[in-house]
Amino acid sequence: MRVFLKSWYDRQSLALKLSVSILVCVFTVFAALVVFLFDATEHIVGSKTEEIGQKSVETYVNDMTHLAVDTQQLVLNTKNMLNQLSESDVSSLQLVLNSAIKTIYHSALTFTDAWVYIFPPEDVSHGTLYRSENIDGKISFKSENITNLYDLFPWFKQVPKEEKIYWSEPYLDKLTSKTVVTCLVPFMFQGKTDFDGLVALTVDLTNMTRSINNFSFAETGKLLLISREGLYVAHPDPNIALKMSIFELSKKMELPQLAEAGYQVLSGKTGTTNIPYSSVFDTSVIFFYAPVFPLNWGLFLVYSEDALLKPIRHMQYLMILPLLVGMLILFFIIYKMCHHSTKQLLTLSHIASMYGQGDFSLNFDEVISSDEIGVLAKTMTNMRQNLLNYVEKEKKEASEKQRIESEMNIAASIQNAAMHKTFPNHPSFKVFASMKPARQVGGDFYDLFFLGEDKVSLVVADVSGKGIPAALFMMRGQALIKNVAKSGLGISEVFHVVNKELLKGNETCMFISAFLAVIDIKTGVMQYVNAGHTPLLVDNKEGYQYVKTQRNIVLGVQKDAVFKAESMRLKEGAKIFLYTDGVTEAENNNHQFYGQDRLLDVLKKPYDTPQETLKAVTDDIQNFADGNEQSDDITMMEFVYLTSSFDEIKVQSDMNNLSKVLNFIEDNMQKYHVANETVFKMVTAAEEIYANIASYAYEKKEEMEIVVKTHFDGTYYHIKFIDFGKEYNPLTRTDPDISAPLEERSIGGLGIFLVKKFASDVTYTRQNNQNVLKISIKV
């Protein structure tokens, strides 16, 4: 609905929008004023009602208190007269009771009778009851022997045996069948030292309850009366009056507020409380309450808040209708005024719409006004000319931008072509690299090329600056490093020559930070030089770690700069990670750098291929940046050194080929300038191994083949003997006891014993149904 109204409003004319806006403002002010007046009226009426209600309750309470006090005084007067009599003076007792009846005949209360009860002090339950009654103006006097007073008056058990006024709870008089309440006091006949009599007046509650039930406050308010024990003496509901207490009703109706009001009034407090509903009204009600002190009773005035405010709210509804009619008339007047004022704006809007469609043929000459609209028309006339000039300028700039973008695309294509997208599938290493430019073309570059068959060169570099200048300088630097490195110069001299060449004609003072590594894949020896580039990361089978390198100056800055090279030996499975500062200096939205520590944490996780490694780092950088724009080129390369290259020879398993194998081993070891003594040991060991394989490995002639692989890692010379015969591990054979006499020695085992003695290490494995025996000897 909200979306529909907004859509409808947006489609309307300015005149209608202005009219609606003004009307809404005026209506809001009037509505706020009306609400304020309504609230103030309700508050005033509520306050006055509360004041009148309290006064009504107090008036009833005062009247009831006055009647109760008069009754008590009459009982006390009667008691004082009885104190002067003896219990045997019945005639005087009759005279006193008849006098009391005559005294109260014209009282506002209705008394059913006056009586005296005479009892022995030791047992109150039986005695003689003397009663005077006024029936239709005639006074009668009766006496009755009582065997159990509690049967006649059950409430009498609660009467304290002391000289003080006592009011009973309302009860049904068995003699008159009326609901009454009794006021009594104990007394002593003349000459007695203990109470032996009671004098009482019994009050008929019929007139009182009728008066309370007939009471009406503000047409709906009702009075409720409760006794000392909380019993409803008067209540509009006959099922509650004299049958239920306020506390029982509170529990039944689940209204704890009602019980709380009962406790308050019976403790002698006056007050007001709000209750969500009651036994009188189903709606929210207000209770006024006050205590009737002589009786210790409580009087309530309860009225419906909704019924009380109904006339006021009816008046409010009558006020709203004229307000709405007035708003409609006001809207019509405002709309006419706004429509007249916005007519010129419609003309301006039409012409501006044509301008928006690219049609500048119309001008604002027909808009004649000296107010703000006229100023707007003049401004739009100037804008028309400015737009025409701007459009012409944009056409020229768009053409120039298209030409530059085309040249940038060509430059990016040339740059991409200069860097590898496919990498060698070599048995001795795996490598992968990537470059993500911050702009269309970048200043970073990487390269990989061979120097002969056994040496591979790795280059990662970063050119200062961005854009086309950096890309041109990058291509120059890449070509120089590659060409000079292939000339056969040492690795330090390569950077020395490249530095001199980059200084020529470098008026822009651009420079290159670069890292060059040359790896001998046969020996695992890596020579490298760092020209102001990021630190080297190497995992030489111990996890990736930063390697502290000689930090030479960048290329293209200092004439005759000296570049110091370093070297290390890579173990099988070693990894090298090269990168530019675009990796570690990538920023997030809080201007924090990605950093070397986070890069190292990512590289510590295992990855199967260099492609997976670079993807993991790239994804982590993107997560860290969290959408922040890339500010520098990001270039990475990982090189995994799998194993040194092996020289090998394959021959048929025949003793006739022994000399061929031994000559191969001897020539191969001499190629690496291995000492003659070491060559002798290795050739002797090889002869023993070959002879064992040729003699015992194969059962069938067509299966006979022995593969011999050699490898020198710079420290150890290794030979692997591989055959496809039955499984046999010669290392499990017990070494012969060479200290025993010759005739006592067992046959065999001496050859493998000599091999163990000559070699630094001998190992056997069974792989792919092949026996592989590897001999290693330290050079």
Q: Would you say residue 460 has pLDDT above 80?
A: yes
Q: Are 435 and 471 in contact (CB under 8 A)?
A: no
Indicate whether 219 and 277 sit together in one domain.
yes
Indicate whether 100 and 162 sit together in one domain.
yes
Burial class (CB within 10 angstroms; exposed 0-12, middle 13-18, buried 19+) of 186: buried
Q: Would you say residue 616 has pLDDT above 60?
A: yes
**pLDDT range class, residue 745, cuts 50, 70, 90:** very low
Q: Are 302 and 281 in contact (CB under 8 A)?
A: yes
Cα(704)–Cα(694) distance, rounded to whole angstroms?
A: 8
Mean pLDDT of the chain: 82
**What pLDDT was estimated at residue 519?**
93
Please indicate, yes or no, if residue 203 is contained in any of the structural domains: yes
Contacts of 102 (CB under 8 A, 6+ apart): 139
Indicate whether 554 and 677 sit together in one domain.
no
375, HSE (Cβ side, Cα atoms, 13 Å): 2
Please indicate, yes or no, if residue 4 is contained in any of the structural domains: no
Structure confidence by residue, pLDDT tens digits, 333-371: 776 776 666 666 667 666 777 766 667 666 666 555 556
Q: Would you say residue 648 has pLDDT above 90?
A: no
Range in 3-12, 384-393, 479-488, 680-689 the model is least confident about: 3-12
Range in 260-274, 403-417, 422-436, 559-573 the model is least confident about: 403-417
**What pLDDT was estimated at residue 88?**
85
**pLDDT range class, residue 470, cuts 50, 70, 90:** confident
**pLDDT range class, residue 615, cuts 50, 70, 90:** very high
Please indicate, yes or no, if residue 274 is contained in any of the structural domains: yes
CATH number for 456: 3.60.40.10
Structure confidence by residue, pLDDT tens digits, 384-432: 667 777 777 777 776 666 665 655 555 555 556 556 678 888 878 899 9
Q: Would you say residue 748 has pLDDT above 50?
A: no
Cα(656)–Cα(660) distance, rounded to whole angstroms?
A: 8
What per-residue string of b and e applies to 584-609 under the rule 16 or more CB within 10 Å gives b? bebbeeeeeebeeebbeebbeeebee
For residue 164, the surrounding DSSP H or E stretch is: none
Q: What number of H helices and E strands is found in the chain? A: 17, 28
Supply the range of the domain harboring residue 707. Answer: 646-778
Contacts of 351 (CB under 8 A, 6+ apart): 362, 363, 364, 380
Indicate whether 637 and 670 sit together in one domain.
no
Q: Stretch 245-260: mean pLDDT, rounded?
A: 92
Contacts of 60 (CB under 8 A, 6+ apart): 212, 215, 223, 299
**What pLDDT was estimated at residue 3?**
67
**What pLDDT was estimated at residue 747?**
45
For residue 767, the surrounding DSSP H or E stretch is: strand 761-767
End-to-end CA distance of the chain: give it in Å, rounded.
90
Percent of the chain clearing pLDDT 90 (strictly above): 24
Amino acid at position 134, single letter: N
Indicate whether 198 and 168 sit together in one domain.
yes
Q: Stretch 560-577: mean pLDDT, rounded?
A: 91
Residues paired with 569 in a beta bridge: 525
**Sign of torsion, CA 308 311 315 320?**
positive
Structure confidence by residue, pLDDT tens digits, 109-139: 677 788 899 988 888 888 998 888 877 667 7
Indicate whether 253 and 119 sit together in one domain.
yes
Contacts of 346 (CB under 8 A, 6+ apart): 13, 14
Structure confidence by residue, pLDDT tens digits, 71-115: 888 889 989 998 898 888 888 888 888 888 777 655 556 777 888
Please indicate, yes or no, if residue 333 is contained in any of the structural domains: no
Q: Stretch 449-461: mean pLDDT, rounded?
A: 89
**pLDDT range class, residue 595, cuts 50, 70, 90:** very high
DSSP secondary structure, 361-413, as one string: ---STT---SSHHHHHHHHHHHHHHHHHHHHHHHHHHHHHHHHHHHHHHHHHH
Indicate whether 294 and 154 sit together in one domain.
yes
Higher pLDDT, 628 or 617: 617
Secondary structure in 3-state letters for 666-694: HHHHHHCCCCHHHHHHHHHHHHHHHHHHH
CATH number for 82: 3.30.450.20
Q: Would you say residue 586 has pLDDT above 70?
A: yes
CATH number for 744: 3.30.565.10
Highest mean pLDDT among 468-482, 487-501, 736-750: 487-501
Task: Say whether 347 sits in a helix, a strand or coil.
Answer: helix
**How does DSSP classify residue 426?**
B
Please give the structure tokens belonging to residue 384: 């028309």
Q: Stretch 519-542: mean pLDDT, rounded?
A: 90
User: Which of the listed residues 281, 306, 331 is the one where a domain comes to its end?
Assistant: 306
Range in 24-28, 71-75, 378-382 the model is least confident about: 378-382
Q: Are 641 and 521 in contact (CB under 8 A)?
A: yes
Secondary structure in 3-state letters for 181-223: EEEEEEECCCCCCCCCEEEEEEEECHHHHHHHHHCCECCCEEE
Cα(399)–Cα(392) distance, rounded to whole angstroms?
A: 11
Please indicate, yes or no, if residue 388 is contained in any of the structural domains: no
Q: Are 237 and 243 in contact (CB under 8 A)?
A: no
User: Which of the listed residues 306, 322, 349 is the one where a domain comes to its end?
Assistant: 306
User: Which of the listed residues 286, 306, 326 is the one where a domain comes to its end?
Assistant: 306
The total number of structural domains in the chain stands at 3
Please indicate, yes or no, if residue 543 is contained in any of the structural domains: yes
**What pLDDT was estimated at residue 759?**
87
Higher pLDDT, 287 or 310: 287
Any idea which residue has 């009786």 for tokens?
A: 295
Q: Stretch 218-235: mean pLDDT, rounded?
A: 87
Please indicate, yes or no, if residue 104 is contained in any of the structural domains: yes
Indicate whether 662 and 752 sit together in one domain.
yes
Cα(326)–Cα(34) distance, rounded to whole angstroms?
A: 14
**What pLDDT was estimated at residue 406?**
56
CB 424: neighbour CB atoms within 10 A? 13
Indicate whether 127 and 235 sit together in one domain.
yes
CB 5: neighbour CB atoms within 10 A? 9
Secondary structure in 3-state letters for 38-90: HHHHHHHHHHHHHHHHHHHHHHHHHHHHHHHHHHHHHHHHHHHHHCCCCCCCH
**pLDDT range class, residue 311, cuts 50, 70, 90:** low
Indicate whether 629 and 676 sit together in one domain.
no
Q: Would you say residue 66 has pLDDT above 60?
A: yes
Indicate whether 66 and 203 sit together in one domain.
yes
The pTM of this model reads 0.41
Please indicate, yes or no, if residue 16 is contained in any of the structural domains: no
Structure confidence by residue, pLDDT tens digits, 37-62: 666 665 665 566 667 777 878 888 88
Q: Are 724 and 768 in contact (CB under 8 A)?
A: no
Contacts of 345 (CB under 8 A, 6+ apart): 14, 373
Indicate whether 114 and 255 sit together in one domain.
yes
389, HSE (Cβ side, Cα atoms, 13 Å): 6
**pLDDT range class, residue 16, cuts 50, 70, 90:** low
